[in-house]
Amino acid sequence: MIKIITIEREYGCGGGDIAHLVANRLGWKLRDHRLTEEIARLAHCPKAVVEAREERNDPLYYRLFKSFMRGSYEGSINAPNLNLVDSETILRITKRVVEHAAERGNCVIVGRGSQQFLKTRRDTFRVFLYASREDKVRRLLARGKSPAEAEDLVGTVDRERADFIRKYFNAEWPAHSIYHTMMNTEIGDDAVANMILSLMKLYEARIAV
C-alpha cells in the first residue's frame, strides 16, 4: 500500500500548492516547510539558514571559509565549538528527517532529495512536476515577485538543484527513471492533483497483485 508521495518540482511550477491539495484530499500530513523547521531545530540554527542551504551546494566563499577554519590553527583549536551549518550537514539531517517522516507514513513530502532518499521504498509514489518558463514566471509574478526577480529565480534555482543532486547523489536532475509520473502543471493545479491521486491508486493496485 502506498503511504508516501514525494513531489519533486521545477521552481515556480506550483509544486507546493499542488502538494497541499493532494495532502488535503488524502487527509495526510504535508511535509514541506515543516521539514525545514525540523531540520533547523536539529541543526540548532535559524530556519532562514536552512532555507539558504537546502537543495543547493555551498557558495564558493562559504567553502573557502569552511576549508580555512577547519584547516587553520585557529580553526583546529576551536574545532569542538565550530558549528558550521553547511550543505553536507543539512543533507545528513534532512535524510534523517525524511526517513523518519516516511516511517510514520501517510505523508506528502516536497523536494529536499526525498525522491532519492526513498527511491527503493515500494510504499512510495514519486512525482515530478514541471512547466514552461513562461508559466513559471507568470506564477511568480502573481506571488508578488518583480519581473526581473522572477526571471532570475526561474533561471537559477533549478540549476542549483541539479548541481546539488549531481554532487550528493551522483544523478541527473530530474532522473526520469525514479519517478512514477512526470506532469506539466499548466493543465491546472486541480487537474494535476486529481491525476496524481488516480495514478497512485492504479500503481497501488498494480503492486498489490
Domain limits for position 141: 4-56+89-208
C-alpha cell at 22: 493532494
Closest by CA position to 139, among listed 159, 157, 158, 153: 153
- Residue 83 confidence class, pLDDT cut points 50, 70, 90: low
The enclosing domain of 148 has a CATH number of: 3.40.50.300
Average pLDDT over residues 136-144: 97
Average pLDDT over residues 140-160: 94
Q: Provide the whole-model pTM.
A: 0.85
Does the structure show a pLDDT above 70 at 77?
Answer: no
Closest by CA position to 136, among listed 125, 123, 149: 149
Average pLDDT over residues 34-52: 85
- 67 is a domain residue: no
The answer to whether the beta carbons of residues 142 and 157 sit under 8 Å apart is: no
- 64 is a domain residue: no
- Residue 58 confidence class, pLDDT cut points 50, 70, 90: low
User: What is the bridge-based pairing of β-strands 4-9 and 107-110?
Assistant: parallel
- Give strand pairing partners of 101: none
Number of domains in the chain: 1
Average pLDDT over residues 145-155: 95
Does the structure show a pLDDT above 80 at 84?
Answer: no
Order of all β-strands in the sheet with 29-31: 29-31, 107-110, 4-9, 124-130, 181-184
Round to whole Å and give the CA distance between 125 and 197.
10
C-alpha cell at 120: 527503493
- 110 is a domain residue: yes
